[in-house]
Amino acid sequence: MFVAARVFNLSHPVPRENGIKVAKEALAAGRAVVFPTDTSYAIAVRAMDEKAVNLLWEIKGQRPKTPLTIFIANIGLINKFCAGVTEEAKLKYLHFWPGSLTLILKGLNNLLWNKGIVPNVVSVRMPLHPIAHEIMGDEEILATTSPNKVGQAMGKNIDEIKAQFGNDVAVYLDASELNPSAPSSILDLTSQLPVLVREGSVSLAEIAVVIENVVKEVEELSGDKEQQTSN
């Protein structure tokens, strides 16, 4: 059945409340939604819904093995998809979360969103934006990516994003054009030493205060990968 996309203006209380409610319903139905984060807009589906994850790759125009970033709002959920995360490690992560640090961690076997490039590795972040937290609550785990089709520029506002995805996305939550922001920093914790893959809005110096022996890697990203990790 054809269902037209719905756009909700977050600057007014009633459409904001309705938009969050409808976005949750769309996610539960296996649809994709677009919402603002602290670094950019994101397009997301439920991470534990295999059909929804496949839909996200399809509408994005990516191969199923393209990495996705997992969003959570509750640190307790991390053990549902990551291996060996201790309570001590969680406290370190919470020094930066919610915020603009993406962690690459060892994942559990057979994750729905992780079919390829590096087996059993998960990219995860707890965004700062309150809308993201209201959508996720304490229990939702979202698979996310940047709001652009492969080969196209990343949309800075809902009009640009909707022009690319149209009715393939069920709900667009419109926070107007977001203020320019550095992308999240990316820290790889899957090796013997922590590796700062990308230094974004969280600096190496800030990370080193909490996590020891961090080394910095020179980032060499292709255009598609750079867009993929922009959140």
Whole-number percent of the chain with pLDDT over 90: 74
Tens digit of each residue's pLDDT (9 = 90 or more) over 85-138:
999 999 999 999 999 999 999 988 767 666 555 667 889 999 999 999 999 999
Q: State whether the Cα torsion 20-37-161-186 is positive or negative.
A: negative
35 neighbors 44 (Cβ within 8 angstroms): yes
The CATH fold assigned to 6-182 is: DHBP synthase (3.90.870)
In the predicted structure, residue 227 carries a pLDDT above the cut 50? no
Strand 101-106, strand 171-174: pairing: unpaired
Report the pLDDT averaged over residues 159-166: 97
Q: State whether the Cα torsion 46-161-228-203 is positive or negative.
A: negative
pLDDT of residue 3: 78
Whole-number percent of the chain with pLDDT over 70: 88
pLDDT of residue 31: 97
Domain residue limits, the chain: 6-182
Tens digit of each residue's pLDDT (9 = 90 or more) over 163-196:
999 999 999 999 999 887 889 999 999 999 999 9
User: What predicted TM-score, i.e. pTM, was given to this entire model?
Assistant: 0.90
pLDDT of residue 180: 79
